Amino acid sequence: MRQQQSKILIVIVMTALLIGAALPGYINQKWSWIDMPQLKTLPQLQTIRKEGLTLSGWQTVKIEPIQIGNQQWLKQEVKRDKQTAIVLLLTQNYYKDQPQVEWMDVTGFLGWKTDEEQRDRFSVKSTSEDLDPVEVEVKFFKAWTATQTYAVAQWYAWPNGGHPAPSHWFWVDRWAQLSRNRAPWVAVCLLIPIKPLGNIQDAWPVATALGESVQASLMAEALVTTKP
């Protein structure tokens, strides 16, 4: 009960801070949520959309565009020693684009069944030396088709973190807009092949290593808090 009250209090405080910070702009008719700032890193995001990422510790085997739903993703096949994996990336392609139902689109496209869903975290060193490590929360689960079983990790990456729920990015971006900044995003889906009866926890170290490399590469190349 006490923990629930604490969460409610945090939400109330955050809402009050957002309203307080936004009110001067509203009064002066400079409402930042309507006049949305542009993305300075849009060219870098579009390059990733075509060329993929340079992933430390991993070798890229193949890169190709792939149509999932009504959006063009990038499929990047990678390997490290005998370990193979697939990285699916959907970069923000327009300054007004928002993450929405990407995970449903992936599920529909691959036609897989899922089980053992859980939440896990990993951290990545910040691009700024005076800031704490960036923490990323991912949805981690088992998925299988008629021919292959995977351990899957999914999250939306942004400059100072990541989370599988679009709502978390929404508040990060809105907070950034109050100071005329933006928080660009990239949808990330990692597919790590495992045995049909394999334990996905055995694949978590691989998911962590690959996830850290993906997040770090995105933060270095395109995911920076931007001003217009």
Are the C-beta atoms of 71 and 171 separated by less than 8 Å?
Answer: no
- Which residues lie below 8 Å from residue 99, measured CB to CB, with a gap of 6+? 156, 166, 169, 185, 187
| Residue 227 within a domain | no
Percent of the chain past pLDDT 90, that is, above it, reads: 64
* Residue 211: pLDDT over 90: yes
- Tell whether 69 and 95 lie within a shared domain: yes
pLDDT confidence bin for 181, thresholds 50/70/90: confident
| Residue 228 within a domain | no
- Tell whether 70 and 100 lie within a shared domain: yes
| Residue 70 within a domain | yes
- Write out the residue range of the structural domain in which residue 181 sits: 36-221
- Tell whether 45 and 145 lie within a shared domain: yes
CA–CA separation, 35 and 171 (whole Å):
16
Is residue 212 classed as helix, strand or coil in its secondary structure?
Answer: helix
Mean pLDDT of the residues in the chain: 85
* Residue 86: pLDDT over 50: yes
- Tell whether 154 and 216 lie within a shared domain: yes
Residue with tokens 């005329």: 180
| Residue 136 within a domain | yes
Identify which of 34, 27, 2, 14 has the alpha carbon closest to the alpha carbon of residue 180: 34
Give the tens place of pLDDT for each residue, 116-169. Answer: 999 999 999 876 665 678 999 999 999 999 999 999 999 999 998 999 999 999
| Residue 87 within a domain | yes
CA dihedral 207, 149, 88, 205 (to 10 degrees): 0
Predicted pLDDT at 143? 97
The model carries a pTM of 0.83
CA–CA separation, 86 and 79 (whole Å):
9
- Tell whether 72 and 171 lie within a shared domain: yes
- Tell whether 70 and 117 lie within a shared domain: yes
pLDDT confidence bin for 176, thresholds 50/70/90: confident
* Residue 99: pLDDT over 70: yes
| Residue 213 within a domain | yes
Are the C-beta atoms of 117 and 139 separated by less than 8 Å?
Answer: yes
**Residue type (1 letter), 135:** E
- Tell whether 47 and 124 lie within a shared domain: yes
* Residue 8: pLDDT over 60: no
Q: How many domains does the chain have?
A: 2
- Tell whether 62 and 93 lie within a shared domain: yes
Give the tens place of pLDDT for each residue, 43-75. Answer: 999 999 999 999 999 999 999 999 999 999 999
- Tell whether 26 and 42 lie within a shared domain: no
| Residue 108 within a domain | yes
| Residue 226 within a domain | no
- Tell whether 9 and 121 lie within a shared domain: no
| Residue 160 tokens, joined | 């100072």
